[in-house]
Amino acid sequence: MGDATGANDPVVEAVFDAVAGIAPEIRDALPGRRVESGTENPSGETVLAGDMYADELLADALTAIDGVGAFVSEERPEATDAGEGYSVAIDPLDGSSNLRSNNTMGTVIGVYDAPLPAPGRDLVAAGYTLYGPITTMVVADESGVREEVVERDPNATGEDGPEGASRSVVDEDLTLPDEPTVYGFGGRIPDWPDAFLEYAREVESELKLRYGGSMVGDVNQVVTYGGVFAYPTLVDDPEGKLRLSFEGNPIAYVIERMGGASSDGSGSILDIEPDGLHDRVPLYVGNEALIDRLEAALDDE
């Protein structure tokens, strides 16, 4: 195990190196993998060939790291044992329904110092890559949050695992802008509970809509411009859509380390004690004042 903070932890570094090293391969593979794979994941979603490919590349690279004890993926029912060490939880291709329309997607990473399922308080590091016009990676640990640009390393041989990529830090201390600017809320308006709808009406009169249908892409708008992202509780699905271990916790960890707040409607996402690996959670993240208002609005229900 590492130093349990994630900062300067060689295992955490190796995990993000591996994810960055695979990013160019995932990108290159996408054009031919926009089709359905013919299977469903444990959450009942259609798996695309791109999801499966990314999952397999990441599983191979991450389970080979000394100090990674388990690989857990949104696409796999159970954890894959890898020896002693951290549990790495991955959403291999978040927002992959954007593959058909050729919009942003990403890979979400959570490094937990505990067997899963475990609360987000056990995260030692978390982050995501974004396959936008540029491949970027946001990495958060106890020391803070940074943004890197990831590019294929032309000198990498690929003999020892992932092809290899260079990582250049472009912002070494990402913090949430004080003045919120954007919002993005998932789900259909008729499925939103009245209290959330009322909150949304207020927010949309104050901020600009930025919504693309991929959690990492939409959260990255908030990371960049300040504001609030939500995939709320729904009338018929009180737990919302997103998965706690693979999506909610890593994103909450990043936003909280940037000085923002996360909530499931009543408290920090990171405090939730999960029952199962594929538990879902309503997710609200962003500037603290907006999350406080959200909690007050839902409390009035």
Q: Which residues bind Mn ion (CB under 5 A)?
A: 91, 94
| Interface residue with ligand F6P, options 25, 75, 94, 141 (CB under 6 A) | 94
Q: CA separation (Å) from 271 to 140, 230, 274? A: 18, 18, 9
The least CB distance from residue 246 to Mn ion, in Å, is: 7
Both tokens of 52, joined, read 């499966």
Piece in contact with ligand F6P (CB under 6 A), picked from 1-9, 11-19, 46-54, 93-101:
93-101
Got the DSSP string for 235-270?
A: SS-TT-SSBIIIIIHHHHHHHHHTT-EEESSSS-GG
Query: Of 120 and 248, which has the nearer Cβ to ligand F6P?
Result: 248
User: Which residue's Cβ lies closest to ligand F6P?
Assistant: 215
Q: CA separation (Å) from 222 to 30, 62, 176? A: 26, 29, 8
**Residue position matching structure tokens 């949104």:** 74
241 in contact with ligand F6P (CB under 6 A): yes
**Residue position matching structure tokens 């260079």:** 166
110 in contact with ligand F6P (CB under 6 A): no
213 in contact with ligand F6P (CB under 6 A): yes
Residue 257: burial class (beta carbons within 10 Å; 0-12, 13-18, 19+):
buried
42 in contact with ligand F6P (CB under 6 A): no
Q: What are the residues whose beta carbons fall under 8 Å from the beta carbon of 47, sequence distance 6 or more? A: 36, 37, 39, 40, 41, 75
- Binding partner of residue 103 among Mn ion, ligand F6P, none, CB under 5 to 8 Å per kind? none
Query: Of 12 and 294, which has the nearer Cβ to ligand F6P?
Result: 294
Query: Of 16 and 185, which has the nearer Cβ to ligand F6P?
Result: 185
Residues that bind ligand F6P (CB under 6 A): 94-95, 97, 186-187, 213-215, 231, 241
